[in-house]
Amino acid sequence: MKAPLRVWAGVALVVVSLLLLPFALAYAGTAWVRIANFAILYVLLALGLNIVVGFAGLLDLGYIAFYAVGAYVYALLASAHFNLHLPFWITLPIGAAVAALFGIVLGAPTLKLRGDYLAIVTLGFGEIVRIFLVNLSRPVNITNGPQGIAGIDPFSIGSMDFSKSENLLGVDVSGPIKYYYLLLAVTVAVIVVNIRLQNSRIGRAWEAIREDEVAARSMGINTRNLKLLAFAMGASFGGLAGGMFSAIQGFISPESFILVESIMVVSMVVLGGMGNIWGVVLGALLLSFVPELLRWTVGPVQEALFGRQLVEPEVIRMLIFGFALVLIMLFRPAGLLPSEVRRRELTGQST
C-alpha cells in the first residue's frame, strides 16, 4: 500500500471513529458523552491558549477570563436575565469579539513585560474579571453576582432543540450527542484556522518573537501589533468556547472560572507540547478524560482491596494526577508531542 493511500485510510478511520464515538460512549451512560463534550471544550481552550503561549511565547495565566467573558456574553444575550433571546449564531460571534477586545485590553499594557512579570499580570487580570463577575450585581444587576445566571437558552436550529432528544433518520439522538457533533465541527474549523495561522507569515513572525523579540524587531517585525493580535486571536477562541459552555450547561456562575481552570488549560498546552497543534489536542484530551477515569475507578478499587474507602477518591485522583504531571515534566520536558523547535531548544538535538 502506498504511503498516501495509508494516510488517507488512517484519516478515514479517525473520522469514522469520531462520528461513532458518542453512540459508543452512550452505552456506558450519558455522563460519558457529556464528559466528551467538555473535553472538546478544553481542546478549544487549549488551542486558543497555544496561540498566545505556544506560537507567540507569551505566558498567560489568566486565560480563563476570556472563557468567562464569552460565557457571560452568551448568557446575557440568550436568557431571561435581560429578557433577550438572541439566536446562537449571533451571540457566539459577539461573545468571541468581546473576548478578543478583552484580549487587546490585557495585551496593551503588558507589551513590554516578559516571563514571570507577564505571568503575574495575566494572573491578576483573570482574578479581576472573576471578582467583577461576583460583584456586578449592584447597583445595577448585570451578572447576578455569585448566584449566577440560570435558564440560558440552548442552541436551536429551526425546530431542532439541542437540549432535547430527537429521532433523526430513525436513530434516537440525545441532546449531548447533538452538542458533540456541533462541538466537533467547530473544533475542526478551529484546528484548520490554527494550521493556516502557523504556516502563514503571521505565524512565522510569532515564532520569531517567541525565539528572540529584539532580533525580530530589528528585522522589521511589528512586535507590538503582532503581540496584540496573538492576545486577541487566542481570546476569541476562549470566548467562543465560553459561549458554547454556557449553552450546554444552561447555568453559569463565577465559580466556574477560577484560577485552577487557567492552570489546567496551561498544563494541557505544556503537557501536549507548546507550539504543536496536535500535541495540544492530545494534552487537552488526556487531562480531560484521565482525571474522570480516575474519579470513577479510585473508589471501587479501594472497596475491592480494603472493603471500604480509606481516602476520598478526589484526594487520590488529584495526587495521581499531580504525580503524573511531575513525571512527564521530568522525562518529557518538551511535552508528549513537542514541536521541532521546542524539542531542539530543550534537548539540543538536531532534525
Distance CA 329, CA 310 (A): 29
Who's near 232: CB < 8 A, 6+ residues apart?
A: 100, 101, 103, 104, 107
Is a pLDDT exceeding 90 seen at residue 331? Answer: no
Residue with cell 539540543: 348
Question: What are the angstrom distances between the C-alpha of 107 and each of 24, 70, 122, 233, 316?
Answer: 43, 18, 9, 11, 38
Q: What is the mean pLDDT of residues 150-165?
A: 88
Is a pLDDT exceeding 50 seen at residue 172? Answer: yes
Is a pLDDT exceeding 50 seen at residue 1? Answer: no
Q: What pLDDT sits at residue 275?
A: 87
Distance CA 88, CA 119 (A): 33
Q: What pLDDT sits at residue 49?
A: 95
Percent of residues, the chain, with pLDDT higher than 90? 54
Distance CA 230, CA 224 (A): 10
Q: What pLDDT sits at residue 351?
A: 44
Tens digit of each residue's pLDDT (9 = 90 or more) over 23-58:
899 888 889 999 999 999 999 999 999 999 999 989
Q: What is the mean pLDDT of residues 308-320?
A: 78
What torsion, rounded to 10 degrees, do the Cα atoms 112, 116, 117, 123 define? 120
Task: Please indicate whether residue 333 or residue 103 has the higher confidence score (pLDDT).
Answer: 103
Question: What are the angstrom distances between the C-alpha of 160 and each of 156, 169, 335?
Answer: 6, 13, 41
Q: What pLDDT sits at residue 344?
A: 66
Percent of residues, the chain, with pLDDT higher than 70? 96
- The residues facing 166 across adjacent strands are 173
Q: Which helix (H) or strand (E) holds 123?
A: helix 115-135
Q: What pLDDT sits at residue 187?
A: 95
Q: pLDDT band for position 248 (50/70/90)?
A: very high
Q: In the predicted model, what is the mean pLDDT of the chain? A: 88
